Structure 1
Amino acid sequence: METTLTLAHKPYEGNLTNAYQYCRNVAQARGPNFSLGFSFLPAQKRDAVYAVYAFSRYADDIVDEKHDMNVSTRLDLWEDALHRLYEGEFDHPVTAAMADAVKGYHIPKKPFLDLIEGCRMDLRKNRYSDFSDLYTYCEKVASTISVMSLCIFGYKSEDAFHYGESLSTALQLTNIIRDVGEDAERNRIYLPQDELKKFGLTDADILNKTYDERFIRLMDYQTKRALSYFKDANNLIPLINDDSAYCVALMGSVYVGVLKQIEKNRFNVYSKKARISPARKALLVARKTVNPLFI
């Protein structure tokens, strides 16, 4: 997806409905595992979540995609667009929708700034010494989105923020596990260095996509940890406002399904893409009405 930033600060001329539709298109094209859950939200909340997703997706894509403009400069521009939308100024459909969403749901600016800082980490850091080091990254790029989302979903207790962090960490760890091969092609290894060593692997093994018993044991270890975060996040569901709890339950369960598919593939994430079939998603939709827990 091309991330279009307007450099001249020309005001966005479209209407708000079109801006939200633009964000919905981004979410449905780039985040089908998320957008399934989003579809069960009330319309106003759904639109706001689409806007948050699109803004976050664009920040991530700036780092991942190749552009003529310096990536750091593009992130600076996106951060500038964030500051301006909080002042009611916007020149892009995503920031137009965001301006409406952050005002309507009183979403603070800080988590968005932290998210952009997490994206900047990808520019200067492509290895993580241990899980604590990786967790700091997850706090920036994932837990921030949990804070934004909880402002929209609504919550019954401040404890929701703790368990929301568990869920966002679980989702990010799932992405890391699923995308080991794709990240290796960008010379990024998110799997902690001390854990590679523990299982007898080196950076070269990951970059060369070596699939053997050492890798299987490493990935089994990573998957079990991600599932433990999903288990802790079960406590989040009853703390979410009733009109949004089903969305959260379904979204997390789809990602658990991704992990289960990776397990079924014996952790061969290099050559087997873990996908949840439409039939499987339909089954999850039915099951979550009976059992909302992730795991």
Structure 2
Amino acid sequence: MTSLPLPPETEQAYRDCLAIASRHYENFPVASWLLPARLRRPVAAIYAFARRADDIADEGTDDASTRLACLDHVAAALSKAASGGRLDDDPVYIALGDAIQRHRLPIDLFHDLLYAFRQDVQQTRYRDFGEVMAYCRHSANPVGRLLLHLNDQATPDNLAESDAICTALQLINFYQDLHSDYTERGRIYLPQDEMAHFHVSESDIAARHSTPALHQLMHHQYQRADRLLRAGAPLGGRLRGRMGLELRAIVVGGARILHRLQHQRGDLFSRPRLTLKDRLAIVRGACLPSRRH
């Protein structure tokens, strides 16, 4: 990584990306104060890029072909920015291009994200858990891998544990958004074969029926996400400094949300919100990595 001073236009572009990140509520931190200061701007640029592509896939009333054409435009703009070019002086691509070159980020990881957004446009059902995992490999895992590259910690073991964490967090988001994904986007990320095995129908999701069968199905999903989160958790203890602190906070935050999902007795479709007690637990878990979460 080089330490070249930023031109004013690039500095402003990073500020714009930080503003984009700050406007969107997330259960998991985005470019938070826990991150090393040198990483907050590139993380915000990555987030702003992903946010834009995600909005193309999910928001508005455009048909599928229009959305895919727009995502192709994003892919072309990404490649141009990564090679040092610019597109209409767009602050997101100005900042992202600088981050990619300054931190030598693999551009393939950004194209993996775009692959997942295209998949969201074209695919609304997943035959089995293998297909869900393949989706997570493109939609979630690249973010953790980019963070490791930013921190010069992209070793094979670190990448594998990061993938486990990111996949777990993606699954937890699916479980939080079970009803809204169906009603607003027509998507179900639960494996179809497991829905059939537990005798859960799409009409149960449409009507927000928290049936005993759905409880059994979701308990199975929660257990799997928990195993993945625990498998990746050692990475937070291995990374040093503020990066490790940030990752431990993310893992504990994910575990707290999963805990709340697991203990929903009535409505399986309500999205849990972290309380002050939860946030204090996140701080404690981040600062005390030797404790079990």
- Same fold flag (TM > 0.5): yes
Q: What are the superposed Cα offsets for residues 21-40 of structure 1, whole Å, 9 maximum, x if unpaired?
A: 22222222224333367321
1:43-122 paired onto structure 2 within 5 Å: 43-68=37-62, 70-90=66-86, 91-122=89-120
Give, in whole Å, the separation in 2 of the partners of 1:184 and 1:289.
38
1:126-275 paired onto structure 2 within 5 Å: 126-155=124-153, 157-185=155-183, 186-266=185-265, 268-270=267-269, 272-275=270-273
CA drift at 1:257? 1.2
CA drift at 1:53? 1.5
Deviation >4 Å, runs of 4+:
none
Are 2:27 and 1:29 aligned? no
Aligned residue identity for 2:128: D
Aligned residue identity for 1:66: G
Match of 1:7 in 2: none
Q: Normalised by the size of structure 1, how large is the TM-score? A: 0.88
Matched residues, number: 282
Give, in whole Å, the separation in 1 of the partners of 2:217 and 2:267.
11
Note if contact 1:155-1:241 (Cα within 8 Å) is conserved in structure 2: no
Identity %: 28
CA drift at 1:80? 1.2
CA drift at 1:68? 4.8
Q: Which runs of 5+ in 2 are unaligned?
A: 1-6
Give, in whole Å, the separation in 1 of the partners of 2:56 and 2:210.
30
Q: Which runs of 5+ in 1 are unaligned?
A: 1-12
Give, in whole Å, the separation in 1 of the partners of 2:247 and 2:158.
12
Q: What are the superposed Cα offsets for residues 205-243 of structure 1, whole Å, 9 maximum, x if unpaired?
A: 223322211111111111111010011001222443434
1:15 to 9, 24, 34: 9
Note if contact 1:171-1:255 (Cα within 8 Å) is conserved in structure 2: yes
Give, in whole Å, the separation in 2 of the partners of 1:150 and 1:106.
12
More RCO (CA 8 Å, sep 6+): 1
Give, in whole Å, the separation in 2 of the partners of 1:52 and 1:81.
14
Note if contact 1:28-1:35 (Cα within 8 Å) is conserved in structure 2: no
CA drift at 1:17? 2.7
Q: Normalised by the size of structure 2, how large is the TM-score? A: 0.89
